[in-house]
Amino acid sequence: MKSPKFITLLHPIFAAIALVSFTAVIAQAQGGSSSGAQSSKAQQVQLSGRSQGGASVSVQQSGSSSTSSSVNTINSTVQVQGNYAGSVNAPMDGTGPVDLTFAQAIQLGLHYNLGGIASDASSRQLRAQRLSALSNLLPNIYATLAESAAKTDLQTSGISSSTFSSGSAGGLSIPSVVGPYHYYSLEGNLSEQLSLTDLHNLRSANAAHAAAVLNMRDARELVIVAVGGSYLRILASIALVESQEIQVQYAQASYQQTAAQLQSGTKAEIDANKSLVELQTEQQRLSSQKGDLIKQKMQLARIIGINPGRDIHLAEKLSTDIPVSDGADASIGYALKHRVDLQAAGQQLQAAEEAYRASKSEYLPSFAVSGYYGLQGTNPNKGAGVFSASATLTVPIFNSGKTKSDVQQADAAVMQRKAEATDQRGAVEDDVRSALVDLQVASHQVQVAQSNRTLAKSTLQQSLDRYAAGVTNSVEVVQSQETLASAEHDYISSLYSLNLSKISLARAMGNAEETIPDMLKGN
């Protein structure tokens, strides 16, 4: 028999064993097992830094192969695709016609065009990704307050009376169940992980966000080109309709004159029929042009957020001013400094280069610290200060080629984006040179078309006078009318091309937002 004194000494030992077992169970339940710090992973970028959405705005001016009497040798169009062709509804009062100046239409487009809204959303998304990358470098600090109650079966942890060779010692037995018991904890926690990979990830995210901001500015310029080009096209269509109405009036007067002469017997019926055919042809053209004008107004309304069912009244006319441009070298130099899409390409390259450095940094060690300090006890009045602190240095040794794979992917993105940045620089120079050529051709076209327009009007008047005097037949009058119609069409088309060339040059030089809204003031 063991003495009672010896039994008394065993009580703290058994209590300590039970406490250790209880602590182990609680640690497993709370996921408190210690583990090494996880290595940071490089965030890969897309292979290409260019937009893949298919939304675009482009001004196209091409040579005409027409062999008619028309002198107009360039065809000008504005192509608006994807998000730039849509919008959200602008808050506008009333239901009647909307009076719009050129600058007002551009402002509506900048606020409500879907292309600009999508670009802004993309910038916001990349800003959020930048914040996420920044959070990996900043410490995580948080507090916890917990009140726990539990009842633990020690046998599930392998502790029972049979564990001890003596079984029951001096009447002392090990309980199979501990509890119920409760405790509380109030802790402040901190964790931090430092690695060069996270640093380069942040720099890559910063460059990507900077590129998105530049792309947003570029999207604003594209919106201005889309709205401005559509506005100019409507002005040209309005001028064509007004010119065609005059042609109908000419044809109407000619037919009435011929019909009167037919009644008096001085003209043959064939002359009256030719005049009537010419009148109906001009009326058909007028009807077609009015239909095109309505659809063009609907397209502009769609771009700037106005209900397509509302009519639009434009306040200005096409400008006849022929600008004096700087030389090609000066214009190209200006564009290389101010084109935001070129700057965005540089930022996209920088983002890829930082992603490559982040991938290379996966080979390097990382350092992490964590810990907590708080109070624990059976109740808030009986708490004890507790703390824990640890520091971990993680050294990569072997990860089955994952780091090498990341490096190769990042290197491919760097090569692609470097090529795109070089190509974009060439595209900027090509845009400026093409815009200058289009402006020069359009300026010459306006001068020639204006001269032809004056000559055609004089020729028609002479033909009408000759016809009234009986010197010629209706064929000459019809031909003169067609020549005037062609000359009027050429003049309006050349003015449209001239104004569109101004927009194209402003876009090519990167100052569209500063110069285009004031382009039609005073017209």
The pLDDT of residue 120 is 92
Average of pLDDT values for 264-273?
A: 82
Average of pLDDT values for 149-170?
A: 66
Average of pLDDT values for 442-461?
A: 90
| pLDDT over 70 percentage in the chain | 87
Whole-number mean pLDDT of the chain?
A: 84
Better-scored residue on pLDDT, 515 or 30: 515
Token pair in block for residue 217: 């500015």
H or E segment at 337? Answer: helix 328-338
pLDDT at residue 165 tops 50: no
The pLDDT of residue 19 is 40
Which of 68-82, 161-175, 184-198, 427-441 is least confident? 161-175
User: If we measure between CA atoms, which residue out of 283, 268, 254, 302 comes closest to residue 464?
Assistant: 254
- What DSSP assignment string belongs to 188-241? EEEEEEE-HHHHHHHHHHHHHHHHHHHHHHHHHHHHHHHHHHHHHHHHHHHHHH
The pLDDT of residue 14 is 40
pLDDT at residue 425 tops 60: yes
pLDDT at residue 508 tops 90: yes
The pLDDT of residue 160 is 65
- pLDDT digit string, tens, across residues 389-405: 999 999 999 888 899 99
Cα–Cα distance for residue pair 506/70, rounded to 1 Å:
29
Which of 296-300, 419-423, 475-479 is least confident? 475-479
* pLDDT-based confidence at residue 172 (cuts at 50, 70, 90): low
The pLDDT of residue 337 is 94
The pLDDT of residue 430 is 95
Cα–Cα distance for residue pair 270/276, rounded to 1 Å:
10
Position 368, amino acid: A
Query: Which residue is it, tokens 């990341």?
Result: 406
Which of 344-358, 384-398, 472-486 is least confident? 472-486
Q: Which domains does the chain have, with CATH numbers?
A: 81-136+197-343+401-518 (1.20.1600.10)
Query: What b-and-e string marks burial along 344-362, b requiring 16 or more CB atoms within 10 Å of the CB?
Result: bbbbbbbbbbbbbbbbbbb
Cα–Cα distance for residue pair 43/41, rounded to 1 Å:
6
The pLDDT of residue 176 is 77
Q: Are 501 and 435 in contact (CB under 8 A)?
A: yes
pTM summary value: 0.81
